[in-house]
Structure 1
Amino acid sequence: MRVLVAGHVNWDVTLRVDRLPEPDGESRIFDQQSSGGGSAANVAYDLALLDVSSGVVGSVGDDEHGLLATRELEEAGVDLSGLVRVPDGETTVKYVLVEEGGEVSMLANDGANEAVGPDDVDDAFVASAEHVHLTSQQPETAAHVARVASDAGATVSVDPGRRLADRDYGDVLANADVVFVNDREAEAVLDAPPKEAFADQVLVVKHGAAGAEVHAPEGHFEHPGFGIEPVDTTGAGDAFAAAFVATRLDGGGYERALERANAAGAYTASTEGARQAPTARALDAFVAERT
């Protein structure tokens, strides 16, 4: 296992609607699909597509949704040794609303996706990874995984996601080599300019269709993106992170990592569903056709 991914493992129900609902309004559903989801599961799955061996630390219930979600990961070759199955628990289900322009809103139940506490983590499993990628989860659990990984000599990246402003991820960020944020998170949460706040770390700022940039000790790097018309942005950020991590692990520079990460995000956003990331061959072809 080269990359361990820790965080949420969900079951997604994607509802394509004519517009996102407004208060006292109504939207029309014109398509419905179901698949595995959750940022940790998505990144691990996407890494497997890129021929990078991956594993997951997370939790599901012992219900049908948990069975379906884990089956997809197993079929992709993801190591589930660190996955906790909660007896009589319900797997978290997210309802993903996607409007015609590709914008996304989400509804979720609590479910079992944060049932893993620090004491439930197999430290040896974490320490066996070359790189650990952390996604949204209990801050205490994320901090524990980050410390174990750092102590074992692994590199650590974190993409805390939408709840960054609501949770204390200070200890997690302190142990991270790479931090992923989008524009909203960078502006709303990071008090200092990137070069001051992350002087010794790598900050990756995602700009959606407008590309992304890296602030690193080695310098500043940008890529403008690929200008696609989004169909469904669900999972695009996870595909971005997977491609960035995979490229850096294979020795690629920041320019190459940004190019492939933006390509993976664009590829995913141009199709429906969170599990539409490219294989390594498809990603190379996508980049070659547009450069």
Structure 2
Amino acid sequence: MVRVLTAGHVNWDVTLRVDRLPEPDGESRIDSQQASGGGSAANVAVALSNLAVDAELLGSVGDDEHGLLARRELEAADVDLGSLLVAEDAETTVKYLLVDQEGEVAVLGNDGANEAVSPDDVDPEAVRAADHVHLTSQRPDTAARIAEVAAEAGISVSFDPGRRLADRDFSDALADSDIVFLNDREARTVLEDEYTESAFADRTLVIKRGADGAVVHTPDATYEHPGFGIDPVDTTGAGDAFAAGFLSALLTTDDHERALERGNACGAITAAEEGARAAPSVEAVEAFLDEQF
């Protein structure tokens, strides 16, 4: 079985379904609310485990009730928590996700303990024990350290830096990444030139386009997939599910077209259900794809 180490944020999410996203001096109605684990690294780890990939999580939570609940959910999903730091006398990061009737999401959050892992806390042996390392948003120096250890050990690295890409210097981690995931907005932030002329031309670049699918640029070819027509309920975690589906396929088949199809299927299934942890099983993905053709 392929083993993937995912590194980055572990949160506790409070999802508020509202009639519309609030505007300045405006008011929105809360139709429902639910709480569960979240954070991109944790979401990807759970999604990979659902897809029959051996997943370990490198991240941090506080030693509070939210951290305990988050750990229990992850353990129930068979995610290895051997590299999860429990920060003493710290609060677990809580994110408030506002989801409108079209499934669009706005996020509020506190700093919390989700970046308590420093470069010195990274266990090189845990990194070297993986077949692949997947980085998500976290402290840039920590991401750089993990990527450095993986690169020196000849282990492939993927990086999905997320919405804070424009505000943080992830250049060192990006330099050691073999696969980079960006959405359209993030791609515009970092790519000023055509792909073939950019600093990303020697690696695989995956651009997520939401309902419009995704495109993959490799040094040798470009692949596109239009996505699947679904009615989104909650897009929270859909990008994480896409990354998990893409990686689970690519790491076992080395087929970029299959990886795109699986990634888009996982993203669509997740967006059609409530919550960031709606990523499907292998059987659910196959059943979904059978219905499309």
The match for 2:197 is: 196
Structure 2 residue aligned with 1:237: 239
After TM superposition, the structure 1 stretch with the greater mean CA deviation from structure 2, 62-71 or 248-257, is 248-257
Q: Does 1:77 align with 2:110?
A: no
Distance in structure 1 (CA, Å) of the matches to 2:195 and 2:6: 25
Residue pairs, 1:211-222, within 5 angstroms = 211-222=213-224
Distance in 2, matches of 1:231 and 1:10, equals 21
Return the alpha-carbon distance in structure 2 between the equivalents of residues 2 and 126 of structure 1. Answer: 10
Deviation, 1:88, is 0.9
Structure 1 residue 192: deviation in Å? 2.1
**Following the alignment from structure 1 to structure 2, what is the Cα–Cα distance between the partners of residues 195 and 202?**
11
What amino acid sits opposite 1:209 in the alignment? Answer: A
Aligned to 2:53: 52
Find the residue that maps to 1:161 and give its secondary structure.
coil
**Residue 109 of structure 1 aligns with which residue?**
110
Shift of 1:221: 0.3
User: Residue 137 of structure 1 aligns with which residue?
Assistant: 138
Aligned to 1:100: 101
**Aligned residue identity for 2:8:** G
Which residue number corresponds to residue 266 of structure 2? Answer: 264
Q: Distance in 2 between matches of 1:261 and 1:96?
A: 23
Aligned CA RMSD, in angstroms, stands at 0.8
Give 1:61's aligned residue.
62
In 2, Cα distance between equivalents of 1:161 and 1:234: 13
Match in the other structure for 2:13 = 12
State the secondary structure of the residue aligned to 2:172: helix
Q: Which 5+ residue runs of structure 1 have no aligned equivalent?
A: none
Task: Name the amino acid aligned to 1:14.
Answer: T
Alignment match of 1:280 (pick from 274, 279, 282): 282
CA distance in 2, matches of 1:230, 1:166: 29
Q: Which stretch of structure 1 is more off in the superposition, 187-196 or 215-224?
A: 187-196
2:126 aligned partner: 125
The residue identity in structure 2 corresponding to 1:30 is D
Deviations 1:102-144 (A, max 9, x none): 0000000000000000001111001100000000000000000
When normalised by structure 2's length, the TM-score is 0.98
- Report the alpha carbon displacement of residue 222 of structure 1 after superposing the two structures with TM: 0.2
Partners of 2:83 and 2:27 lie apart in 1 by 42
Aligned 1:12-51 pairs, distance under 5 A: 12-51=13-52
The one-letter code sitting in structure 2 at the alignment partner of 1:66 is: G
Any idea what the Cα deviations from partners look like across 1:218-265, whole Å, max 9, x if unmatched?
Answer: 200000000111110000000000010100111141110000100000
**Structure 2: which amino acid aligns with 1:190?**
L
1:152 offset after TM fit, Å?
A: 1.3
TM superposition shift of 1:75: 1.0
Q: Equivalents in 1 of 2:139, 2:60: separation in Å? A: 12
Instruction: Could you list the structure 1 runs, at least 4 aligned residues long, displaced by more than 6 angstroms after superposition.
Output: none
**Which whole-Å deviations, capped at 9, do the CAs of 1:193-212 have from their partners, x for residues lacking one?**
22222221000000100000
Aligned to 2:4: 3
Spell out, residue by residue over 1:130-163, the C-alpha distance to the aligned partner (whole angstroms, 9 max, x if none).
Answer: 0000000000000000010111111000000000
Indicate the residue corresponding to 2:249 in structure 1.
Answer: 247
CA distance in 2, matches of 1:252, 1:210: 23
Q: What CA distance in whole angstroms lies between the structure 2 residues aligned with 1:212 and 1:168?
A: 25
> Where does residue 223 of structure 1 map in the other structure?
225
| SS of 2:165 mapped into structure 1 | helix
Instruction: Look up the equivalent residue of 1:271 and give its one-letter code.
Output: E
For 2:204, the aligned partner's letter is: V
Corresponding residue for 2:149? 148
Q: Name the amino acid aligned to 1:205.
A: I
Partner-residue secondary structure (3-state), 1:162: coil
Query: How do 1:199-210 residues align onto structure 2 when only pairs under 5 Å count?
Result: 199-210=201-212
The CA distance in 2 between the partners of 1:28 and 1:189, in whole Å, is: 36
1:164-221 CA distance string (max 9 Å, x none)? 0000011111000000000001112222222222221000000100000000012000
Question: Is the partner of 2:117 in helix, strand or coil?
Answer: coil
Distance 2:201 2:12 in 1: 38
Give the 3-state SS of the residue equivalent to 2:163 in structure 1: helix
